Chains A and B, each alone.
Chain A
C-alpha cells in the first residue's frame, strides 16, 4: 500500500476513535454529572439501572433513539434536521486537533487527529461554528421560544467569544505560536502558563462557561423564561445530538484550558525527579486535567444560580472584554519592555494583581451589569392620549 493510504487510514481510525471516545465520555458524563449533582444536594442520584446505575447512559441512549422523532409542521425540514448535525459535527471536529501525548506515543502513531500550525485559531473557529447549529435549530423550529432561545444563545456565544479570544492573546504573544505543540513545549520549558497569565485564565474560564452554555450562563435553557430555548421543539435523537454537542464542547473547553494553561499532555515536571519520564506519559495527564475541569463545571452547576439575560450581556461586554483587553495590552507592554527574570516576575505580578483587583472590586463592578442602561425617567411615559379622554 502506498504510504499516503496508510496515513489516511490511520488518521481515519484515530478520528473514529476520538468520536467514539468523546461520545462515550458524553454518555458517562451525564451519569457522573447527575450522580455528583445529586450528592451535592444530599441525594443519591440515578442508581437503578445496572450496578450503581452504570447502565443508565445505555438506557437513556436506547430511549432517545427509539423515541418518536417529532417534526413541527412549521419547521423548515432540511435545516431542522441539519442543525443538530452541525452542532455535533463542529463539537467533535474541534477536539481532534488537541494533542493527547508526545508525537508517536499512540502505538507509533501521533496521538492527535490533525495538527495545524493555526491550532488554537482553528479550534476557536470550529467551536464558534457550533453557534450555527444552535441558531439554525432555533430558527428552523418555526416556533416562538426556540427562535428566542436561538437568538439569545448566538448573541451570548458571539459576545463571549470576544472575551475568550482576547484573553488568550497575551498567551499567544508570550509563546509566539498558535500550535498546541508549541504551547505545550513552551510550558514544558518555562512552567505552566497559569503562572504567567493568571488573569487570562480566569477570564478564559468564565468565557468557557458561557461558550458551553453551562450554569451560570445557561440562558438558552432557561426553563422559567423560554421553556428549553432552541431545544423546545426537538425530541428524540435530535435533542440528544444537541445535548451531546453541549457536553462535547464542555470536554473540549476543559481540554483547551488544560492545554493552554496547565501544561497540556505533560505532567508536572517536578515529578520527573521521582519517576523519570512520568511527565511525558501520554493520555493520562490530559485525562486527569480534563476530569478536574469537568468536575469544576459540575460543581459550579450545583452551586450558582443563573444570570439574567441582560446581566449576562453586560457582564460580557462591560467587564470581561475590557479586562481581557487591558490584560492583553499590559502583557504586550511587559513583553516589549522587559526581558529575562524581570519579565517573568512582572507577568506573575500582573496576573496576581489582576485577580486580586477582580476579587477586591467584585462588589463595586457589580453595578456594571445590574444597573439598567435605560433609566425609567429617560423613558417617555407621556400617554399617547391625555388622561380622561380628549
Chain B
C-alpha cells in the first residue's frame, strides 16, 4: 500500500542514519589505491648492484603519445658506471603536465627501468615545477616535488595520502608504499 511503501522508505533512511559513513576523509585518512593504479613514474635500479636500469635508449620518449619524456644519453664511465650498459641517461625528464599516465613508456622500456608508480599527489603552483628530473623519480625518492618541498619546510617526513592494498606490484622494485 502506498503509505506503507513511504514508511518503508523512511525506515531505510533512518537506518542509514546510524550506519558508519563510507566517506574517506582524505587527506587525514589514506585513500586506498589498487596496485595497478598508474601514477607518477619511478626509475628503478638493479637490486644487487644498485645500478640504474635505464640505459638512455629513448624508446620511452619515442613511445610516449604526449611527447612528455625527454632523454639525453651519455657514455658510462667504465670505472664508475651509472648503468650496466654502455650508456646511461644523463638527463631524464618527464613533464607531468603533458603526461597522460597511459603507461606506454613502461611497455616500451627494454630494461624495465621506467615503471608507473602509485603516487598521484603532484599539484603545484608553477609549470616549471611539473618537469620531473631523474632525481625526482629514482627509486627511494618518496613523495612528489611539492610534497617534499612542504616536508622540508615543516621539517617533517613526507606523508603520502594513499595506501596500496597488498603493497606495490613486483615491477616497482625497491618501492615501499603505506599499506
Range for the number of chain B residues in contact with chain A: 10 to 19
CA distance A232 to B12 in the complex (A): 33
Residues of B within 8 A of A (CB): 1-4, 6, 9-10, 12-14, 16-17, 19-23, 25
Q: Which B residues lie within 8 Å of A304 (CB)?
A: 6, 9
A180-188, A321-329, A356-364 - the one binding chain B: A356-364
Nearest Cβ in chain B — how far from A299, in angstroms?
Answer: 6
Partner of B9 from the list A39, A41, A303, A359 (CB cut-off 8 Å) is A303
In this complex, which of A39, A303, A359 has the most chain B Cβ atoms within 10 angstroms of its Cβ? A303
Is A385 part of the contact surface with B, judged by Cβ < 8 Å?
no
- Whether the pair B3, A362 counts as a contact (CB closer than 8 A) is yes
- Whether the pair B3, A359 counts as a contact (CB closer than 8 A) is yes
Q: Which A residues lie within 8 Å of B10 (CB)?
A: 299-300, 303
CA distance A177 to B50 in the complex (A): 93
Q: Mark A37-79, 1 if CB is under 8 A from B, else 0.
A: 0111111100000000000000000000000000000000000
**A126-144 residues at the B interface, CB under 8 angstroms:** none
Is A344 part of the contact surface with B, judged by Cβ < 8 Å?
no
Partner of B1 from the list A36, A38, A39, A363 (CB cut-off 8 Å) is A363
Partner of B16 from the list A41, A360, A366 (CB cut-off 8 Å) is A41
Is A148 part of the contact surface with B, judged by Cβ < 8 Å?
no
CA distance A358 to B7 in the complex (A): 14
Quick one: given A39-B21, A44-B25, are A302 and B1 in contact (CB under 8 Å)? no
Quick one: given A359-B1, A362-B3, A366-B2, are A43 and B21 in contact (CB under 8 Å)? yes
Partner of B2 from the list A44, A302, A303, A362 (CB cut-off 8 Å) is A362
Known: A36-B17, A299-B13, A303-B6. 5 other contacts (CB 8 A): A39-B16, A39-B21, A299-B10, A303-B9, A303-B12
Number of A-B contacts (CB under 8 A): 46
Nearest Cβ in chain B — how far from A221, in angstroms?
Answer: 20
Pick the 9 closest A-B CB pairs, nearest first. Answer: A362-B2, A362-B3, A44-B23, A303-B13, A40-B13, A359-B3, A302-B13, A303-B9, A44-B21
**A213-249 residues at the B interface, CB under 8 angstroms:** none
Partner of A42 from the list B2, B9, B16, B25 (CB cut-off 8 Å) is B16
- Whether the pair A43, B23 counts as a contact (CB closer than 8 A) is yes
Q: Which A residues lie within 8 Å of B21 (CB)?
A: 38-39, 42-44
CA distance A68 to B21 in the complex (A): 36
- Whether the pair B2, A363 counts as a contact (CB closer than 8 A) is yes
Sample 19 A-B pairs with CB under 8 A, ordered by A number. A36-B17, A38-B21, A39-B17, A40-B14, A42-B19, A42-B23, A43-B21, A43-B22, A44-B21, A299-B10, A299-B14, A303-B6, A303-B9, A303-B10, A304-B9, A358-B3, A359-B1, A362-B3, A366-B2
